[in-house]
């Protein structure tokens, strides 16, 4: 039975080494800071870009499309990275000798 006040996962096992849920808090904090910086200033940047173009709406639209293309590219690269890593892990596992009696 887990202690009261701890962040737990499956079947009462706490994935965080500290046992106090600090890992989840750190992830949440970094997520919220990124939302504050990038999501909070996005309307300001859009208005600034539109004002530079004399009130036209195309500069913020182009900026949004550019950020979307970067996000799609990163997602595709992440898939290939994990695929390469999985192949490397299986080849390493195949070469690793199994001790006798295991």
**Residue 32 and residue 26 in contact, taking contact as beta carbons nearer than 8 Å:** no
- Would you place residue 93 in the very low, low, confident or very high pLDDT band (cuts 50, 70, 90)? low
**Residue 14 and residue 8 in contact, taking contact as beta carbons nearer than 8 Å:** yes
14 in a structural domain: no
pTM of the model: 0.51
Alpha-carbon separation of residue 14 from 3, 19, 26, 30, 64 (angstroms): 10, 6, 15, 20, 39
61 in a structural domain: yes
For the chain, the domain total comes to 1
Using the predicted structure, report yes or no on whether residue 7 has a pLDDT greater than 60. Answer: no
Using the predicted structure, report yes or no on whether residue 99 has a pLDDT greater than 50. Answer: yes
Give the domain range for residue 79: 19-95
Q: Across the chain, what does the average pLDDT equal?
A: 77
3 in a structural domain: no
57 in a structural domain: yes
40-65 confidence digits (pLDDT tens): 888 999 999 999 999 999 999 999 99
- Would you place residue 12 in the very low, low, confident or very high pLDDT band (cuts 50, 70, 90)? low
Which two structure tokens, joined as six digits, stand for 66? 């550019």
pLDDT value at position 86?
76
What is the torsional sign of CA 71, 75, 77, 78? positive
7 in a structural domain: no
pLDDT value at position 94?
64
68 in a structural domain: yes
């Amino acid at each position: 039975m887990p202690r009261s006040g701890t962040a737990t996962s499956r079947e009462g096992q706490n994935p965080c080494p500290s046992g106090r849920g600090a890992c989840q808090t750190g992830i949440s904090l970094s997520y919220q800071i990124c939302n504050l910086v990038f999501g909070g200033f996005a309307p300001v940047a859009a208005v600034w870009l539109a004002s530079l173009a004399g009130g036209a709406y195309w500069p913020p639209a182009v900026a949004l499309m550019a950020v979307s293309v970067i996000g799609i590219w990163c997602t595709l690269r992440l898939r290939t990275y994990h695929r390469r890593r999985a192949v490397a892990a299986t080849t390493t596992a195949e070469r690793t000798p199994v001790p006798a009696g295991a």
